[in-house]
Amino acid sequence: MAFLNILGGLLVFVTCIAALLAMAVGLYKAVEYIEDRTYAAKKKIEQIIIAISVAHIILLFRRVGFFIVIYSLVIQYIFYSLLEIYPYVQPTNLTFIVGSLMALGNHFLILRAMILNNNYLLEMIFAFLVFVWATPFCFFLSLSANDEAFPTTGKKNSTLIGKFIKRAFNQ
C-alpha cells in the first residue's frame, strides 16, 4: 500500500513537471510568433478580444451580475484601443496600466460573483483564464514585440547616410 502511495505521489510530481514544461514551451512559441509576425499577431489579438467580448453573454446566463459583465466589457474595450499603437505598447502606457489594474479588480469581482453562485472550481478557473486574463496576457506577451519592430510612425530620425545623400543632391 505504501508503494502505491509513493508511486501516486511520484506520478503527480512528474505530471506537474510535464505541465510546467509544456507551458514554458507554449509561452516560448507564442512570444516567438508575436515577435516574428507582429501584424498577424495583432489580427489574432483583435480576434481574441472580439470573441471574448461576444462570449460575455455566457456570463449573463451563469448569473454573474450585469454590471460586472459591463465592467469586463469596458476592460476589453480598453485593451482593444491599445491595438491602435500595437506593437509599440509600453508597460508605462497609461491605457495599459489602467487596463491591467481594472483586470485585477475584475478578477476579484468575478471571483466574488462565482463564490456567491456556488460555481465549480473548474468553472471559476475557466472564467479567469478566458474572461479576465486572456486579453491582458496577450499584451503582456507582446511587450517584447516592440523591441524588434521597425518604426512606421512618429519622429523621423536622420542617419549619417541620409544626411550625406541630402547634401549630395541638395547642393
Indicate the domain borders of the chain: 1-28, 37-150
Cα atoms found within 13 Å of the Cα of residue 34, Cβ hemisphere only: 24
Residue 46: the pLDDT is 93
Residue 158: the pLDDT is 60
Confidence of residue 148 (pLDDT cuts 50, 70, 90): low
Q: In this model, does residue 163 exceed pLDDT 70?
A: no
41-70: average pLDDT: 89
Q: How far is 109 from 68, CA to CA, in rounded Å? A: 7
CB-based contact 113:127 (threshold 8 Å): no
What average pLDDT does the chain have?
84
Q: How far is 162 from 160, CA to CA, in rounded Å? A: 5
Q: In this model, does residue 161 exceed pLDDT 80?
A: no
Residue 154: the pLDDT is 47
> Judging by beta carbons within 10 Å of its beta carbon (0-12, 13-18, 19+), is residue 45 exposed, middle or buried?
buried
55-60: average pLDDT: 86
Residue 159: the pLDDT is 62
110-139: average pLDDT: 86
Q: In this model, does residue 107 exceed pLDDT 60?
A: yes
Q: In this model, does residue 140 exceed pLDDT 70?
A: yes
Confidence of residue 1 (pLDDT cuts 50, 70, 90): confident
31-44: pLDDT as tens digits: 888 888 888 889 99
Q: In this model, does residue 52 exceed pLDDT 70?
A: yes
For the chain, report the end-to-end CA distance as a whole number of angstroms.
Answer: 92
> Judging by beta carbons within 10 Å of its beta carbon (0-12, 13-18, 19+), is residue 56 exposed, middle or buried?
middle
Could you tell me which of 119, 138, 110 has the C-alpha nearest to residue 45?
Answer: 138
Q: In this model, does residue 121 exceed pLDDT 80?
A: yes
